[in-house]
């Protein structure tokens, strides 16, 4: 899937070595009408973030080339939102880190159903922003 700047669908960047195996998450993003791209490392993510627009970044906290928390500074002052996934038993909980360019560390972690609702709303707002910018 190529990254196209004219695409009106929300674009999600998944960062981490296990993200390509998150089939349920990938299928769900497709059903929500989102385009997604997967990268395994911080460095690859940083390069993509410098060149392309992403509405949401979903990242593992442990990356092969360093700490994913460095993504916070990469997304500050941008319209993107960043969530870290935390493995808990047989599921993932999600930690909001940046919401539309503003730090939000310290907010409670989101369980899967809470995260699903928030992500749906975030992607909906991203689609609205894209549509409004075209008018």
- 85 phi and psi, to 5 degrees? -95, 140
Q: Is the pTM of this model over 0.75?
A: yes
Is the four-CA dihedral 38, 44, 45, 49 of positive or negative sign?
Answer: negative
Ranges of the chain whose pLDDT falls below 50:
1, 5-6
Give pLDDT, residue 80. 92
Of the candidates 109, 123, 47, the one whose C-alpha atom is nearest the C-alpha of residue 80 is: 123
pLDDT the model gives residue 135: 65
* pLDDT of 13: 97
pLDDT, residue 129, reads 81
């Amino acid at each position: 899937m190529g990254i196209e700047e004219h695409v009106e669908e929300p674009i999600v960047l998944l960062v981490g070595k296990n993200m390509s195996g998150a089939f349920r998450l990938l299928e769900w993003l497709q059903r929500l009408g989102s385009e997604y791209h997967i990268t395994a490392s911080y460095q690859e993510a940083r390069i993509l973030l410098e060149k392309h627009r992403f509405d949401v970044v979903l990242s593992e906290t442990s990356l092969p080339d360093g700490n994913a928390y460095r993504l916070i500074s990469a997304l500050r002052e941008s319209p993107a939102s960043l969530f870290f996934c935390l493995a808990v038993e047989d599921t993932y909980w999600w930690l909001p880190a940046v919401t539309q360019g503003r730090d939000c560390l310290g907010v409670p972690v989101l369980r899967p159903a809470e995260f699903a609702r928030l992500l749906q709303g975030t992607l909906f707002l991203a689609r609205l922003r894209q549509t409004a910018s075209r008018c």
